[in-house]
Amino acid sequence: MSSAIRDQLSTVETPDPLVDDSEETDIVSQGLVGEITVDGDTAAVPLALGAPYSPAETELAVAVREAVEAAGYEPSLSVAIDDETPASEGPIVIAVSSGKGGVGKSTIAVNLAAGIADRGATVGLFDTDVYGPNIPRMLGVQGEPVRADQNQRIVPVEAHGLKLMSVGFLVDKEMPVVWRGSMVDQTLTELWHEVNWGQLDYLVVDLPPGTGDAQLTMLQQMPVMGSVVVTTPQDVALDNARKGVRLFDDHAADVFGIVENMSAFVCSNCGENHEVFRAGGGAKLAAEFDLPVLSRIPLDPAIGEAGETGEPIVLGESDISELFGDLACDVLDHVGRRRRHSHTARTDSSETSQ
Ligand SMILES: Nc1ncnc2c1ncn2[C@@H]1O[C@H](COP(=O)(O)OP(=O)(O)OP(=O)(O)O)[C@@H](O)[C@H]1O
Ligand SMILES: [Mg+2]
């Protein structure tokens, strides 16, 4: 009987109850369990989950399996986010942005994408920087020829478990900067449609630095669900980062949070933490906009070296690798929270309107 299963599932807590809701915080009351169908010993349970490979949902799936088994059935789980949820078709698009260049945006984008892929997801990385497209170098695939498939769609370059498309593969370094600039407006937003990404769970976009028209156009034309804003702790960078956060104000995309990069220097001789820039800048910005600080990445020569050798540092074994891995997990959990909440909110409003 599916009611026995439902009773068992009522003991599973939601990872993130709606703040303004009642005391019932289990997944059934929160509307995350769809219509259960039983066929012999097997119970098919559709769940409103939306962030594949996120830690919270992986944990939840384990708890749901156990609950279904406790009711005496073999679980068969499926994901059923409703059609209206943004990006329910196609990949979940996560942008990495910054108000200013040179703050480590591409470094974060590469390691975020590789970190998500390392959890098992299929991930694309779209490098839109026409002025300094350095992601191919960071992944050790610079100069790689770009192929078209039989339908004349661009085949992304595979590197370290990622599917990469970079403007760097297409623009000639000798090309005058003004022409490259006009590419941003004219072709970039179209370009990602021309790429045969295949089935992706996530697409990470390294947005061009700055807060001008180019960034705005990209945000308007790509189904970006949310963004990670990268800043360094200096005030100048922060002013720019402020604009970077505001860019999202008029847009449906969320800012998941702030990454403070180059936040301190860990001395390899004495092991001490030196604050090179004024400390806590990221936290100040985060507090101002009521956003979380997702990560504080220290200034570490190993990060620069990894950029040169073409090996994402998140795939290594070090404290820094772990920091980047945690960042990837955090971002995925933000995606899940956002999608579960928009699902629950919609289910609630459709129930009250009946
Ligand atoms: N935490 C860090 N510690 C040490 N070096 C870093 C760190 N973060 C980034 N770097 C290095 O700083 C340089 C700039 O980083 P990156 O290219 O990621 O910045 P960006 O914001 O994408 O720059 P651009 O605006 O040019 O695209 C690179 O050489 C990179 O390896
Ligand atoms: Mg860059």
Looking only at Cα atoms, what is the longest distance across the chain?
69
User: 324-337: per-residue pLDDT in tens?
Assistant: 999 999 999 999 98
> Which of 98, 106, 204, 274 for a ligand 1 pocket mutation test, highest count of atoms within 8 Å of Cβ?
106
Q: Which of 107, 204, 259 has the most ligand 1 atoms within 8 A of CB, as the residue to mutate?
A: 107
Mapped onto helix, strand or coil, the DSSP state of residue 177 is: helix
Q: State pLDDT tens for residues 129-186.
A: 877 778 999 999 988 888 899 999 999 999 999 999 998 887 776 777 776 666 666 6
Cα(47) to centroid(ligand 2), Å? 38
Ligand 2 center from residue 126 Cα (angstroms) = 11
CATH homologous superfamily for the domain 2-84: Fe-S cluster assembly (FSCA) (3.30.300.130)
* Sequence ranges of the chain with CATH classification 3.30.300.130: 2-84
Closest ligand to C-alpha of residue 276 is 1
Is 180:129 a contact under the CB 8 Å cutoff? no
Across the beta sheet with 42-47, the strand order is 37-39, 42-47, 74-79
Closest ligand 1 atom to Cα of 263: 1
Q: At 7, is the pLDDT very low, low, confident or very high (cuts 50, 70, 90)?
A: very high
Residue carrying structure tokens 């990602």:
192
99 lines ligand 1 (CB under 6 A): no
State the fold for domain 92-325: Rossmann fold (3.40.50)
Instruction: Please tell me if the CB atom of residue 132 comes closer than 6 angstroms to any atom of ligand 1.
Output: yes
Q: What are the residue ranges of CATH 3.40.50.300 in the chain?
A: 92-325
Q: How many angstroms is it from 350 CA to the middle of ligand 2?
A: 43
Token pair of 220 as six digits: 């308007």
pLDDT of residue 276: 60
CA of 68 from ligand 2 middle (Å) equals 47
Model confidence, pTM:
0.90
